[in-house]
Structure 1
Amino acid sequence: MRKTVTTLLLALPLALAGITAAQADNASAEGRWRQIDPDTHRAKSIVEIGRAGNGTLNGRIVELLNPSRPNPTCDKCSDDRKDKPITGMEIIRGMRADGANKWSGGSILKPDEGKVYKSKMELIENGSKLQVSGCIAFICKSQVWERM
């Protein structure tokens, strides 16, 4: 009995540390996200968001789900991503923390249009979803991505 109690007391801090780490992960946009098309409500791609050396968040497409053609490139892009493969492409650049669970000041590329939009992101639903917005002037469109 004494051995069981000792084991439980030793395991409790480890279990609490695991819960705290999981909560911390949900307080950051870093990680893998399933990009959901707002029109079809189907997953389009998997985007991985990570922290750059300067502290900003960047994101790249790590997988296209059901692409319209094999190995598509960004033929409509006009910047350094022109004619580059979309898989592996950085589509989110320079997002800076803008309050709790919010980022802004960066840009997002829509590869099928080749257009770059001012962007902002916000964690919603306890960090299980990420609302991503792209804006030109005062016209904005949003998508909700799901954490993987």
Structure 2
Amino acid sequence: MTCRSGFMVAMLMALLVAVPAKVQAGGPDGIWLTQAGDAKVRVSKCGGGICGVVVWLKDPIDPATGKPQIDDKNSNPALARRPIIGLSLFAGMRPAGAGKWSGQIYNADDGKTYASSIAVAGPDTLKVEGCVGGFCGGETWSRTTR
């Protein structure tokens, strides 16, 4: 093996290692800041799909009670006492194409669950959409750090 071919093998190996790292950086795994900037959600692989859990709130303490924010908009009394931090937002979020998932998303702002789709729109951009009937609304989440 000549020095030049050794260099080429080393370059190819470096490229093969770098490609999966770049793909991973553009995937859904990570911490995402909601469009309003009021919450951060950790998205990770789970089962055959993805999960999303609230890990941070801009205002973690309810000013009315002086206690941590709870899921008080939920119509189920047993669930209305659970803390927002640690709350799972995605249900049945399964692959629906390259960089896309569909399932359900829970909206703690109104205590309701909606049909949802999530798509990686760029290395640091996640499109999140929820639908009820024929009406859909969405927002763009930005990749962030803890």
Q: State TM-score, norm by structure 1.
A: 0.78
2:30 matched residue in structure 1: 31
Task: Give the corresponding residue for 1:139.
Answer: 135
Q: How far did residue 19 of structure 1 move? A: 2.9
Q: Which one of the candidate residues 86, 90, 102 is aligned to 2:88?
A: 90
Query: Are residue 100 (structure 1) and residue 67 (structure 2) matched?
Result: no
TM-score with structure 2 setting the length: 0.79
1:120 alignment partner, SS class? strand
* Equivalent position amino acid for 1:61 in 2: V
Deviation per CA, 1:52-92: give whole Å up to 9, x if none: 23x12111001112346251000111356321000000011
| Equivalent position SS for 2:128 | strand
Partners of 1:14 and 1:147 lie apart in 2 by: 29
Q: Which amino acid aligns with 1:58?
A: C
Unaligned runs of 5+ residues in structure 1 are: 38-42
- Decide which moves more: 59-68 or 127-136: 59-68
Confirm or deny: 8 A CA contact 1:35 1:144 kept in the other structure.
yes
Q: Percent identity?
A: 31
Tell whether the 8 Å contact from 2:61 to 2:68 is kept in structure 1 after alignment. no
Match in the other structure for 1:22: 21
Unaligned 5+ residue runs, structure 2? none
Counterparts of 1:1-148 in structure 2, within 5 Å, are 12=11, 15-17=14-16, 19-37=18-36, 43-53=37-47, 55-67=48-60, 69=62, 70-79=67-76, 81-104=79-102, 106-125=103-122, 127-148=123-144
Structure 2 distance, partners of 1:93, 1:81, is: 15
